[in-house]
């Protein structure tokens, strides 16, 4: 039993939990969920519908296509691929919160709230990219690749810090007692 004493270290347990969650999610998503397309298309359809609603509320004439397409009249539109639907970000966020010590009741409200906030940010990203596309395709590509990637990952990092510093009431220090 002495060989497994390293598992008493909360940092090691956290890292192993993250790894286990990631491997489990990777297998579940790539072997079953992604090939079925149901989850991806559901999230994309909702993102397109809400983005369209916001853009029309702002006074734009919007078109959508049956194949993940949304745009403002006069542009080529945006095609939302599986990598841009936010599902990978939802799982990244969820895995961290599950692996980090903390009260499960708090996790059960913080995870869905965080996913909802990430989805709202993704919808706003689509709205802003569609508006940018009316001005310059180059600006659209640049902001898609760099600006919004930094913003969204920065926001997820903010949510993690909020969890670790304000909500979880626990730390990963090796000397902290387990609760």
Q: What is the DSSP string of the chain?
A: -GGGGGGGSHHHHHHHHHHHHHHHHHHHIIIIIHHH-HHHHHHHHHHHHHHHHHHHHTT--EEEETTTEEEETTS--EE--GGGSSHHHHHHHHHHHHHS---HHHHHHHHHHHHHHHHHHHHHHHHHHHHHHTT-HHHHHHIIIIIHHHHHHHHHHHHHHHIIIIIS-----TTSPP-
Q: Domains in the chain: how many in total? A: 1
pLDDT of residue 134: 96
Position 26 scores a pLDDT of 92
pLDDT at 21: 93
Does the pLDDT at position 148 exceed 80? Answer: yes
Q: Does 177 fall in a domain?
A: no
Confidence band for 99, pLDDT divided at 50, 70 and 90: very high
**Residue 13 pLDDT level (bands cut at 50, 70, 90):** confident
With respect to residue 3, please indicate whether it lies within any of the assigned structural domains: no
- 110 within domain boundaries: yes
Domain residues for the domain of 131 are 10-167
Task: Label residue 162 by pLDDT band (50, 70, 90).
Answer: very high
Residue 178 predicted with pLDDT over 50: no
Q: Above pLDDT 90, what percent of the chain?
A: 81
Beta strands in 1-136 (DSSP E): 62-65, 69-72, 78-79
Q: What is the pLDDT of residue 179?
A: 47
| Residue 5, in any domain of the structure | no
pLDDT for res 169: 80
> Quick check: is 174 in a domain?
no
Asked whether the whole model's pTM tops 0.95, one would answer no
Average pLDDT value for the chain: 91
Residue 145 or residue 173, greater confidence: 145
């Amino acid at each position: 039993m002495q060989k497994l004493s390293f598992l008493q270290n909360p940092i090691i347990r956290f890292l192993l939990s993250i790894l286990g969650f990631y491997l489990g999610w990777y297998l579940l998503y790539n072997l079953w969920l992604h090939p079925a397309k149901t989850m991806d298309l559901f999230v994309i359809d909702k993102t397109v519908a809400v983005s369209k609603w916001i853009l029309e509320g702002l006074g734009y004439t919007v078109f959508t296509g049956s194949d993940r397409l949304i745009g403002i009249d006069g542009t080529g539109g945006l095609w939302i691929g599986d990598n841009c639907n936010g599902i990978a970000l939802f799982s990244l966020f969820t895995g961290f919160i599950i692996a980090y010590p903390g009260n499960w009741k708090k996790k059960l409200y913080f995870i869905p709230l965080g996913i909802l906030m990430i989805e709202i940010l993704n919808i706003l990203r689509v709205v802003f990219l569609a508006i940018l596309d009316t001005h310059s395709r180059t600006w659209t590509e640049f902001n898609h690749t760099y600006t919004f990637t930094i913003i969204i990952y920065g926001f997820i990092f903010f949510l993690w810090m909020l969890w670790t510093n304000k909500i979880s009431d626990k730390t990963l220090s090796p000397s902290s007692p387990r609760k």
